């Protein structure tokens, strides 16, 4: 079988994760990478032969089977549309877009061009989450009532995350978009819409708890109620020190599931002099740590990229949780949460 030819746009944190995941798949060749900086370093690290500063030129010359979009949030719109107009299938990092209008247009263009749009919600492919999905499917915890999920850490490393225009908001759009996407996958499944949301945020800049230089909020929580009555509680904040903290709790009529996606390593390490790395976004790695065994695999990226590659090979649409439609629903929900915070009341609607 000919290898699936992948091209990457972006060269930093997310691009590195995508390269790692594709490189582990023997059916994939990363043929080229385009970005404004760091090209030599990332190309050398992953053995990518061709680099471009202009992604449009890369699309035209390389004609890849699949493009991974790993650029700042506000650029997802223009890069996805350019790839689709070049006839290419696209994986788009979270959040799908910074505005609902941009997200809608991205879906419309991809539909019109008949190119596939994969929304990169890696949580859907975390081995921990997939095992929990199976336990829920076999009825292990009965009918689901309530799910609570969060992603929190001490602040994005990316300068693009600091402005509302480039990020679309603060910690809520940047981090809570993971639990929101996961709850759509778990409880919404493309058939059970969210019908009510309420959100509470710090207000950005001086109103933030810690990050006074971030235009967007550094703390955001939200409640979402689904049409069938289930309730979700989601959180995304930048005030959590000590490492990235991603947790999930699911409550059903017959049981409970709890998972720790980031601190759940089987290794307990005590080091007086410190170790080089334990998990993402720790301040230091001295004393007791829980070093991740395989962080990118554990968070789902490896399975995720394999799934998208398989969809391309089989010419199949993705499941709901990682479809462009789910990505757009996440952006619409984030918008509704922000609106709820602004006007101080619950917002009703139908988001799916
Ligand atoms: N799924 C996840 O867990 C996860 C993790 C990290 C980041 N992300 C997402 O990935 C995206 C990128 O994040 P990051 O942390 O890698 O960002 P970053 O700020 O570290 O890097 C941005 C990259 O975009 C490139 N770029 C900027 N403008 C460009 C242009 N016009 N043409 C080509 N390249 C351009 C830069 O050269 C750089 O390589 C963001 O949308 C972020 O939300 C997702």
Does CATH place domain 4-121+310-321 in 4.10.320.10? Answer: no
Gyration radius from the chain CA atoms: 20
- The answer, yes or no, to whether residue 1 has pLDDT greater than 80, is no
pLDDT in tens, 253-300: 999 999 999 999 999 999 999 999 999 999 999 999 999 999 999 999
CATH number listed for the domain at residues 124-301+331-351: 3.30.360.10
Structure token digits, residue 57 = 């030129």
- pTM of the entire predicted model: 0.98
pLDDT at 352: 97
Q: Is the CB of 158 under 6 A from ligand 1?
A: yes
Most ligand 1 atoms within 8 A of CB, residue of 8, 35, 162 to mutate: 35
Structure token digits, residue 300 = 């789902």
Q: Is the CB of 224 under 6 A from ligand 1?
A: no
Q: Whose CA is nearest to atom 43 of ligand 1?
A: 94
pLDDT in tens, 101-111: 999 999 999 99
Where in the chain is CATH 3.30.360.10? 124-301+331-351
pLDDT at 41: 98
Read off φ and ψ for residue 14, nearest 5 degrees: -70, -40
pLDDT in tens, 232-245: 999 999 999 999 99
Structure token digits, residue 113 = 């061009």
Give the C-alpha separation, 123 to 102, whole Å: 24
Q: Tell me the average pLDDT across 64-79.
A: 98
Give the C-alpha separation, 289 to 87, whole Å: 47
In which band, very low, low, confident or very high, does the pLDDT at 138 lie, cut at 50, 70 and 90? very high
Give the C-alpha separation, 118 to 120, whole Å: 6
Give the C-alpha separation, 105 to 117, whole Å: 12
pLDDT at 76: 98
pLDDT at 8: 98
Most ligand 1 atoms within 8 A of CB, residue of 21, 41, 93 to mutate: 93
Q: Provide the percentage of residues in the chain whose pLDDT is more than 90.
A: 99
Structure token digits, residue 232 = 């979700």
Give the C-alpha separation, 214 to 173, whole Å: 13
Read off φ and ψ for residue 179, nearest 5 degrees: -60, -35
Query: Among 53, 10, 13, 320, which Cα is nearest to 174's?
Result: 13
Q: Under DSSP, is residue 135 helix (H, G, I), strand (E, B) or coil?
A: helix
Q: Are 100 and 331 in contact (CB under 8 A)?
A: yes
CA of 9 to the centre of ligand 1 (A): 8
Query: Which residue is it, tokens 């603060």?
Result: 170
Where in the chain is CATH 3.40.50.720? 4-121+310-321
Give the C-alpha separation, 10 to 246, whole Å: 25
Q: Tell me the average pLDDT across 42-56.
A: 98
Q: Tell me the average pLDDT across 39-68.
A: 98
Q: What residues contact residue 39 under an 8 Å CB cut-off, 6+ apart?
A: 11, 33, 51, 53
- For the beta carbon of residue 46, count every other beta carbon within 10 angstroms: 17
CA of 349 to the centre of ligand 1 (A): 32
Q: Is the CB of 73 under 6 A from ligand 1?
A: yes
Whole-number mean pLDDT of the chain? 98
Q: Give first-to-last CA distance, the chain, whole Å.
A: 37
Q: Tell me the average pLDDT across 328-339.
A: 98
Give the C-alpha separation, 182 to 136, whole Å: 14
Q: Is the CB of 153 under 6 A from ligand 1?
A: no
Q: Is the CB of 161 under 6 A from ligand 1?
A: no
Query: Which residue is it, tokens 């550094």?
Result: 218
pLDDT at 86: 98
Query: Among 261, 241, 120, which Cα is nearest to 181's?
Result: 120
pLDDT in tens, 113-129: 999 999 999 999 999 99
Give the C-alpha separation, 19 to 135, whole Å: 31
Structure token digits, residue 224 = 């979402």
DSSP 257-320: EEEESSS--S--EEESS--S-SSTT-S---EEE---SSHHHHTTHHHHHHHHHHHHHHT-PPPG
Query: Among 102, 175, 119, which Cα is nearest to 325's?
Result: 119
In which band, very low, low, confident or very high, does the pLDDT at 44 lie, cut at 50, 70 and 90? very high
CA of 270 to the centre of ligand 1 (A): 34
Give the C-alpha separation, 325 to 45, whole Å: 34
């Amino acid at each position: 079988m000919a290898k699936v030819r992948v091209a990457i746009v972006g060269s930093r944190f997310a691009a590195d994760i995508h390269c790692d995941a594709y490189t582990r798949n023997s059916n994939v060749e990363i043929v080229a990478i385009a970005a404004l900086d760091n090209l030599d370093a990332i190309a050398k690290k992953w053995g990518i032969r061709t680099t471009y500063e202009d992604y449009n030129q890369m699309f035209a010359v390389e004609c890849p089977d699949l493009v991974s979009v790993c650029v700042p949030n506000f650029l997802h719109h223009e890069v996805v549309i350019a790839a689709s107009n070049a006839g290419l299938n696209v994986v788009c990092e979270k959040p799908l877009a910074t505005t609902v209008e941009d997200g809608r247009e991205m879906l419309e263009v991809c539909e019109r061009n008949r190119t596939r749009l994969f929304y990169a919600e890696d949580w859907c492919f975390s081995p921990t989450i997939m095992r929990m999905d199976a336990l829920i499917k076999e009825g292990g915890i009965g009918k689901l009532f309530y799910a609570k999920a969060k992603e929190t850490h001490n602040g994005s490393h990316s300068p693009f995350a600091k402005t509302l225009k480039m990020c679309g908001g603060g910690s809520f759009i940047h981090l809570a978009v993971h639990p929101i996407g996961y709850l759509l996958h778990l409880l919404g499944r493309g058939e059970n819409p969210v019908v009510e949301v309420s959100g509470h945020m710090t207000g950005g800049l001086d109103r933030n708890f810690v990050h006074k230089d971030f235009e967007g909020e550094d703390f955001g929580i939200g409640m979402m109620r689904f049409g069938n009555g289930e309730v979700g509680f989601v959180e995304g904040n930048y005030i959590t020190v000590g490492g990235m903290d991603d947790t999930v709790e699911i409550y059903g009529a017959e049981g409970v599931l709890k998972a720790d996606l980031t601190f759940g390593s089987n290794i307990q390490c005590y080091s007086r002099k410190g170790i080089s790395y334990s998990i993402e976004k720790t301040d230091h790695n001295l004393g007791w740590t829980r070093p991740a065994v395989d962080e990118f695999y554990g968070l789902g990226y490896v399975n995720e990229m394999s799934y998208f590659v398989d969809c391309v090979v089989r010419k199949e649409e993705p499941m709901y949780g990682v479809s462009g439609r789910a990505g757009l629903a996440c952006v619409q929900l984030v918008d509704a949460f922000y609106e709820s915070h602004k006007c101080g009341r619950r917002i009703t609607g139908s988001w799916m």
